[in-house]
Structure 1
């Protein structure tokens, strides 16, 4: 049901690209989706107005590019240990280091960082913040929770952009949560 709701939202927002973490694996095996090797990140070129090409795929990370932008979708499980977290962040950093285009990273990193709007920074957040600094990126999240369950909320789903985007207009928001959705969705426009 959440995939159907996302499809409606994409049409309403006139989105060009859809990046989903922890997708319904049955839904994304259908044509039109690019999926990482673990099935935890899926990307679809929904409008067809921009040509997106798959450039990098690994477990929990998928990168596509257009003529002007490199978009990375990422998911890091809360169950992986700190060494595996570092390895996955290093893969993303390597892709960004080789980029010649503006970069946007969207994903669920299961980390806490003040730089991403959390109330505190944990070890994973330190590693992610260090990576953002190393590749001249920053998080556009404003502290609005992107995950809610059983009375608990967190800023887990992040939008990270490189500094070349800072001259662009951004309308970043967490869309309202209602009873028909399983979680909160974020929308980015440039």
Structure 2
């Protein structure tokens, strides 16, 4: 188990001493202190951000952790395959700067391959933590939770009390890789010497495989509409709806989701060589992204960037050369067979929707079918009519398929039907 304690000290030496006493008495492993005392945060056992606004201290001697990331108002350490991030965001910064800090958090959560726990003083109100309403900063955090799939585990208890006012400012956020059944969030009632209450977060350092992601039901928009309609019918029938009925209806709708069997078909110029080079380029890119999250690896990071750029350059060269070669082959096939692979590629691009037959197109087709110069210069000939009749021609035209390709004269099927009328 990893026991973590969070509090805002307001730069008070008394609050800092009380926090260390609570942590020692409660057998906590880590302390996350926002606005810590200046001299306390400068001690060797503390790891702070670049401005000294948030710091993390190891209380248990048997716990070894390493620095994961350090920035302005943010410090992250890695402990037992879990990244613990301490955050402090001042209420006096503009909204744009606040959004930049949330984007920085989003980048760390999205790029990390480990479980992530975020503890800090965010200084805003959000319904995700149990508040009555959300302000502009709360909306930005809620968007961050929706994008990353993270979850705020606050239980709605206030963490700030001053002059008769209560609010939830200190938050605890976990990502989807955390086990939801092995997390305990508690707001302590002990004296802290600050207007912020101490927050205790106890998590398991053993990953059991259960995550928020695989227990959260996913419904399409159509299924959501069906669920709403079923509930509307239940309400119209004056049936009492309980949580068990709600869960049963959602499970039934999820069971009705058909499994997709169609697969993506690659483009015509895709080859095995391009696929292998693309996989190599992606491996190099992942290596670069991992290097950027680690401190003290400047040379290795520069070498990884050079390898990634070389692999990307080679991939672009292979795609360009293959496209050129395939285009020349396609031109040769088109000259030999107009209705071959080139025609199939174009019709697939068009889809099921055929071009509309407008006035200009109809006039062009009529000039091709009945050229005036040839009719004027053509000598009178005797047509043989004993082989077919006019009605037979009309019946044959009616039987033509709408998707039938144009013949040698280049006329559309719709034009033939229009001439019959």
TM-score (norm 1): 0.95
1:65 matches 2:75: no
2:64 to 32, 41, 51: 51
Supply the distance in 2 between the matched residues of 1:31 and 1:68 (Cα, whole angstroms). Answer: 23
* CA drift at 1:3: 1.0
1:109 matches 2:115: no
Supply the distance in 2 between the matched residues of 1:144 and 1:170 (Cα, whole angstroms). Answer: 16
**Equivalent residue for 1:150?**
163
1:121 matches 2:131: no
**Equivalent residue for 1:170?**
183
Supply the distance in 2 between the matched residues of 1:80 and 1:65 (Cα, whole angstroms). Answer: 28
**Equivalent residue for 1:11?**
24
More strand by share: 1
Q: How many residues align?
A: 189
Classify the secondary structure of the residue corresponding to 2:158.
coil
Classify the secondary structure of the residue corresponding to 1:91.
helix
Supply the distance in 1 between the matched residues of 2:66 and 2:144 (Cα, whole angstroms). Answer: 25
Q: Is the 8 A contact 2:32 2:54 kept in 1?
A: yes
What do the CA deviations read for 1:54-111 (whole angstroms, capped 9, x no partner)? 1111110001112310010001100001000001111111111111111100001111
Q: Is the 8 A contact 2:109 2:175 kept in 1?
A: no
1:131 matches 2:147: no
Larger Rg, first or second structure (1 or 2): 2
Greater RCO (Cα-Cα under 8 Å, separation 6 or more): 1
**Structure 2 residue runs without a partner (length 5+):** 1-13, 204-421
More helix by share: 2
What do the CA deviations read for 1:109-164 (whole angstroms, capped 9, x no partner)? 11111011111011100111111121111111111110111111110000001122
Supply the distance in 1 between the matched residues of 2:74 and 2:85 (Cα, whole angstroms). Answer: 7
**Equivalent residue for 1:94?**
107
User: Which moved further from structure 2: 49-58 or 71-80?
Assistant: 49-58
Supply the distance in 2 between the matched residues of 1:87 and 1:152 (Cα, whole angstroms). Answer: 29
Supply the distance in 2 between the matched residues of 1:65 and 1:49 (Cα, whole angstroms). Answer: 14
Supply the distance in 1 between the matched residues of 2:179 and 2:143 (Cα, whole angstroms). Answer: 19
* CA drift at 1:177: 4.8
TM-score (norm 2): 0.44
Q: Is the 8 A contact 2:125 2:168 kept in 1?
A: yes
Classify the secondary structure of the residue corresponding to 1:189.
strand
1:159 matches 2:172: yes
Supply the distance in 2 between the matched residues of 1:55 and 1:148 (Cα, whole angstroms). Answer: 33
**Equivalent residue for 2:197?**
184
After superposing on structure 2, the runs of 4+ consecutive aligned residues of structure 1 that deviate more than 4 Å are: none
Supply the distance in 2 between the matched residues of 1:12 and 1:118 (Cα, whole angstroms). Answer: 31
